[in-house]
Amino acid sequence: MDDPVRARRARIDRLSRLGQSSGYGCYLIAVIAFFVGFATSYSTALVVVIVAGLAVGSLLLLPSIILGYAVKAAEREDREQGR
């Protein structure tokens, strides 16, 4: 018997992990672009990549991290109550 709450929680956990991976990937792109600009010169396109990477990474990470902690807390509470 599948529990619909656990199934939904697992789906949210997968989305949370995907969001975190994507967010950190955006940060990595921004950092690489920053050092490329540092080594050469900061063109307008490079600055756009840096700012966009930081902005998109932040937008992805905030809800992903919060949902990840929520799923872990719910699982921990279920274990403590013996469910």
- Tell whether 82 is covered by a domain: no
Domain span holding position 53? 4-76
Residue 52 domain-assigned (yes or no): yes
- Number of domains making up the chain: 1
32 lies in some domain: yes
Alpha carbon distance 36, 30 (integer Å) = 10
Q: What is the pLDDT of residue 79?
A: 87
Does the residue 83 lie in any domain? Answer: no
65 domain residue, yes or no:
yes
* 19 falls within a domain: yes
Q: Which residues in the chain land under pLDDT 50? A: 1
Q: What is the crossing angle of helices 44-80 and 4-39, to 10°? A: 150
Q: Provide the 8-state DSSP code for 83.
A: -
Residue 82 is predicted with a pLDDT of 79
